[in-house]
Amino acid sequence: MSEARDVVAVILDDHRTMEELLRRMRSVEEDRGAALKDFAALLIAHAEAEEAEVYPALKRFRNVDDEEVEHGEEEHHEGNEALLALMEVEEVGSDEWDEKLEDLAAAVTHHLDEEERTILNGARENVPDERRAELGAVFLQDREKHLKADCGSIENVRAVVHVR
């Protein structure tokens, strides 16, 4: 296994990738459909791994705000709903596509901002380095499992949205 990486750093890397994919989805010079496919897989795998491995572990630390962690889960659901709405648009680049992409970008960028300021800073301040490295490893393992299972397919996104 490669060197363990801090879970905060790993999550931040995913956030930057999501922002780049959102930019690609906005650009007529990019393959917007391919960017959406990559974004869907990453968003779902990332959120599922956070909720399965990272959030429950963080709740066990004093001074990591449990309400913020629960709010993060709620925002994942909002992002997933917005993702599904965009995936269901028939024509990439249409007015409807642009409108649903704007909704998705708003939901996701709001969540990234809030998670970075609250949950991740809480982890930086209160979770020991070794534990953050362990969490990084299990997060990446769980995320990879979801990616291999084609978690970004529209069928799976529908299932994830309708599970609640």
User: Where in the chain are the domains?
Assistant: 7-162
Average pLDDT score over residue span 54-77? 87
Inform me whether the pLDDT recorded for 61 exceeds 90.
Answer: no
Helix (H) or strand (E) holding 139: helix 129-148
Q: What is the pLDDT of residues 103-159, one digit of tens each?
A: 999 999 999 999 999 999 999 999 999 999 999 999 999 999 999 999 999 999 999
Question: How crowded is residue 160: how many other Cβ atoms within 10 Å of its Cβ?
Answer: 21
150: left (phi over 0), alpha (psi -120 to 50) or beta: left
**Angle at CA of residue 55, ends 114 and 134, nearest 5°:** 115
Confidence (pLDDT) at 1: 41
Task: Look up the pTM and report it.
Answer: 0.94
| pLDDT tens-digit series, residues 34-47 | 999 999 999 999 99
Note the pLDDT of residue 164. 62
